[in-house]
Amino acid sequence: SRFFSYKDTVLSCEGVALDALAAEYSTPLFVVSRNALVEQYRAFEEAFSSLSHFTCYSVKANFNIHVIKALSDQGCGCDVNSGGELFRALKAGVDPQKIIMAGVGKSDQDIEYALQSGIFMLKAESLSELRHIEAVARRLGVTASVGVRINPNVTAETHPYITTGDSKEKFGIDEGSLDEMFDLFKSMKHVNFMCLDMHIGSQIFDTEFYHAATEKLLDVLDAARAKGFSIDYLDIGGGFPVTYEPQKPATPIEQFASVLIPVLKKTGTTIIFEPGRFIAANSGVMVTKVLYRKRNHIGKEFVIVDAGMTELIRPALYQSYHEIIGVKQQEATIVADVVGPVCESGDFFARGRTIDAVGEGEYLAILSAGAYGAVMSNNYNGRLRPAEVMVDNGRTSLIRKRDTFEQLIENEV
Ligand code: LLP
């Protein structure tokens, strides 16, 4: 990309050499380009500019407060999925009226925190949750602005762990419960029903799934309006795809826009979008050091690196493909498994892949690690969650320190 490219044979982020960053901050290290984030956000806004809408970055993709702030500085709002993510968004200085909260299992504490913070809306996923929101709002003496997430019962073609709009999945309110839901809304005094919401999955290439699910949402909109509700917002979620493999380029965002804008425009509502991956994925890479190389008697070559599934779990969890390239440009290649130090066979980044012939002590960059990378890191095997740096026009700042051994036990009272 424009933000990560070789400069004098060394992979650089906005001109800053990644081997120098690795030497300074040690590895595994996440490197985020602030300008890449901002550019993706602007590309999204540009694509949907003819539509009355606002965009809430889904912070689960990368919830570092500096990442949130970089986007909110551009006017972007936030989609949060828990009290913890709400706390992060507020700490990043996001206007509560630009924050929306999702989540299939919000606790009363989450609901209370959201209402007390004055966020724009809560998106409910069950009738029971609606009753809890009503009860908490009554106790606090406030009116809760609420959207309901509809399960549109369409099955997106993506990894089964990241498809969410099918009736087999736990998400959203089922079409069979709509009449009961409308009656419930009529009976509640502390809830303002103002939005219909969906999110059909992640990394979805086919615009037709959005189109089909949106049509279902519009049927519900008609039904709600017929019952006398004035629904001013439609939230059509995130899920817009990015390119991980150059050979499998993502459907351009403009294509989604051209399918969706005509359908959404005629509703007369304001549209809310919740992109996460689209904004963050290609803004970041993970730099890891080659610890060892070894070859076994069947001729298999292993490149053992200092990052593992504890820092980037996507290959282990979803068999996801991430490009892996030498931080120093190499001429020669090898065919190898790139594996981490965690004692799990699933702890790999690539298997039987042709990669740059990096030597021990040299660095590899694992690309497209800006979304669902550092945020999914954990301490399994006593691993230290990684450091993160942000590069902004050649200036680098540490935006998260690596964990320390002491932190590993600090909560064990
Ligand atoms: N809105 C809701 C309600 C969501 O559940 C999600 C993602 C998003 C928005 C943002 O979706 P995106 O635009 O990023 O596709 N860890 C998985 C992805 C899980 C996505 C969960 N929900 C991965 O690494 O592929």
Instruction: Give yes or no for residue 322 CB within 6 A of ligand 1.
Output: no
Q: Which residue would you say has higher pLDDT here, 374 or 154?
A: 374
Instruction: Give yes or no for residue 372 CB within 6 A of ligand 1.
Output: yes
Q: Label residue 169 by pLDDT band (50, 70, 90).
A: confident
The answer to whether 96 is annotated as binding is no
ipTM: 0.99
Do residues 198 and 149 touch, judged by C-beta distance below 8 A? Answer: yes
Same domain, yes or no: 254 and 364:
no
Average pLDDT, the chain: 96
Do residues 117 and 86 touch, judged by C-beta distance below 8 A? Answer: yes
| Final residue belonging to a domain, choices 235, 256, 279 | 279
Instruction: Give yes or no for residue 79 CB within 6 A of ligand 1.
Output: yes
CATH value at residue 15: 2.40.37.10
Report the nearest atom of ligand 1 relative to the CA of 281: 14
What burial letters (b/e) apply to 23-52, b meaning 16+ CB within 10 Å?
A: eebebbbbbbbbbbbbbbbeebbebbeeee
Please name the residue ranges forming H helices in 167-252. 178-187, 207-226
Same domain, yes or no: 113 and 190:
yes
Instruction: Give yes or no for residue 277 CB within 6 A of ligand 1.
Output: yes
Instruction: Give yes or no for residue 314 CB within 6 A of ligand 1.
Output: yes
Average pLDDT over residues 305-322: 97
CA of 294 to the centre of ligand 1 (A): 37
Do residues 273 and 236 touch, judged by C-beta distance below 8 A? Answer: yes
Same domain, yes or no: 398 and 347:
yes
Instruction: Tell me the three-class secondary structure of 34-92, residue by residue.
Output: HHHHHHHHHHHHHHCCCCCEEEEEEHHHCCCHHHHHHHHCCCCEEEECCHHHHHHHHHC
| Final residue belonging to a domain, choices 279, 301, 319 | 279
Same domain, yes or no: 137 and 285:
no
Average pLDDT over residues 192-201: 96
Same domain, yes or no: 263 and 335:
no
Q: CA quadruple 365, 407, 314, 244: dihedral positive or negative?
A: negative
Instruction: Give yes or no for residue 276 CB within 6 A of ligand 1.
Output: yes
Q: What is the distance between the alpha carbons of residues 246 and 251, in angstroms, rounded to a whole number?
A: 12
CA of 241 to the centre of ligand 1 (A): 11
Q: Label residue 166 by pLDDT band (50, 70, 90).
A: confident
Same domain, yes or no: 185 and 65:
yes
Which residue owns the Cα nearest ligand 1 atom 7? 202
Same domain, yes or no: 299 and 207:
no
Q: Label residue 161 by pLDDT band (50, 70, 90).
A: low
pLDDT at 380 over 80: yes
Same domain, yes or no: 97 and 111:
yes
CATH value at residue 116: 3.20.20.10
Q: Label residue 168 by pLDDT band (50, 70, 90).
A: confident
Same domain, yes or no: 358 and 258:
no
The answer to whether 318 is annotated as binding is yes
Report the nearest atom of ligand 1 relative to the CA of 314: 24
For residue 193, the enclosing domain spans 34-279
Report the nearest atom of ligand 1 relative to the CA of 274: 9
| Final residue belonging to a domain, choices 279, 308, 328 | 279
Q: What percent of the chain has pLDDT over 90?
A: 93
The answer to whether 388 is annotated as binding is no
Average pLDDT over residues 80-103: 98
pLDDT tens for 3-52 read: 999 999 999 999 999 999 999 999 999 999 999 999 999 999 999 999 99
CA of 395 to the centre of ligand 1 (A): 30
The answer to whether 225 is annotated as binding is no
Q: Label residue 406 by pLDDT band (50, 70, 90).
A: very high
Q: What percent of the chain has pLDDT over 70?
A: 98
pLDDT tens for 237-274 read: 999 999 999 999 999 999 999 999 999 999 999 999 99
Same domain, yes or no: 94 and 231:
yes
Same domain, yes or no: 378 and 289:
yes
pLDDT at 162 over 70: no
The predicted model scores a pTM of 0.97
Q: What is the distance between the alpha carbons of residues 67 and 83, in angstroms, rounded to a whole number?
A: 18
Number of domains forming the structure of the chain:
2
Active-site annotation holds for 343: yes
Same domain, yes or no: 166 and 48:
yes
pLDDT at 156 over 70: no
